[in-house]
Amino acid sequence: MSVIYVLIPIAIILTIVGIYLFFWAVKTEQFNDLEKEGLSILFDDNKSDNEKHEQEDSSQEDQVNGNAPAPKSKDES
């Protein structure tokens, strides 16, 4: 029975800490835009790689359409 005298204050302290942390998170805008971080893993952060791939794709489309010469192989350079 004496354990309850320890557990009740601990439970009250943990509840107060939890409420404080919740209000701190709301105040510091931790809950703004929850979807962005979840979707950010789907997008490539490296812009130069994206631009490089876009240029390769456009040059391949030009080759198919006959608008651009074929790229040189490593042996020709």
Let me know: does 61 contact 73? Beta carbons within 8 Å: no
- Give the domain range for residue 28: 4-63
Total domains, the chain: 1
Q: How far is CA 58 from CA 4, 44, 46, 69, in A?
A: 72, 19, 19, 13
Residue 37 included in any domain: yes
Segment 17-69, tens digit of pLDDT: 999 999 999 999 887 877 777 777 787 766 655 565 666 666 666 666 666 55
Query: What is the rounded radius of gyration, in angstroms, for the C-alpha atoms of the chain?
Result: 29
Residue 71 included in any domain: no
d(Cα 70, Cα 28) in Å, to the nearest integer? Answer: 55
- Per the confidence metrics, is the pTM higher than 0.75? no
Of the two residues 62 and 12, the one the predictor is more confident about is 12
| Terminal Cα-to-Cα distance of the chain (whole angstroms) | 86
